[in-house]
Amino acid sequence: MHKDSPALYKHPDGHAAGAWESSGPAEPLERSLMKSQRQSVIVEVVEREPIYNQELLRRRLRARGFDVTQATLSRDIKELGLVKRAADGSYQRPSPATTMTRTAEAAEAAARRMAREFLRSFEPVQQLVVLKTDAGQANVLAIALDRASLPEVAGTIAGDDTILVVTRDPRQATAFVRQLEEWTGLRRH
């Protein structure tokens, strides 16, 4: 249980309870918040000390209140883009040079995968496209879209659950919306 987590809801009898005190399965919002907090802690731990393997990272997470499986930790490492340092084999965030060497195909595939996972709705407004995600997921999707370097997209601005995608003109917004529809199976809002 993560002791520093804020209360997320109130029981009918009035006392506050956090997602980690719930007796039932975690709701999507709660899972999203837990994942976001856990991934933030992973980045913090990796940046603070050399972590050479997943078991050591798992122990550090457990000490911080996150008891995760090896499969969950592997997914987090992949989603965060952590790589092993050549010099000592410890995990690190990729350098900008490493990130830039990713192929365009791999970056677009990651954006497609994250759009399928995180995107809930979208709405074009002239040359802008407003994307909606669950809480805590907008930044991850916006980063994936930026890294994909899609020709229609000039840039993104992300909040907690909303992304503003700026395209170069209304035609490009329409093309981007068609691409989102193809990637996700969703239809414009």
Q: Which residues contact 90 (CB under 8 A, 6 or more apart)?
A: 46, 50, 51, 52, 84
**SS3 breakdown of the chain: % helix, strand, coil, rounded to 5?**
50, 15, 35
Q: Which residues contact 165 (CB under 8 A, 6 or more apart)?
A: 128, 129, 130, 131, 145, 153, 155, 156, 173, 176
| Tokens read off for 68 | 């995760």
Q: Specify the CATH class of 9-92 in words.
A: mainly alpha
Computed over its alpha carbons, how large is the radius of gyration of the chain? 19
| Tokens read off for 86 | 């050549």
* pTM of the shown model: 0.50
**CA torsion, points 70, 82, 34, 48, in degrees to nearest 10?**
100
Q: What is the pLDDT along the chain (189 residues), one digit of tens a residue?
A: 444 444 333 334 444 433 344 444 556 667 767 888 898 899 899 989 999 999 999 999 999 999 999 999 999 998 888 888 888 899 988 766 555 555 667 788 889 999 999 999 999 999 999 999 999 899 989 999 998 999 999 999 999 999 999 999 999 999 999 999 999 999 887
Per DSSP, which regions of 75-169 are E strands?
83-84, 91-92, 119-125, 128-133, 153-158, 162-167
Q: Where are the domains of the chain?
A: 9-92, 102-184
Q: Specify the CATH class of 102-184 in words.
A: alpha beta
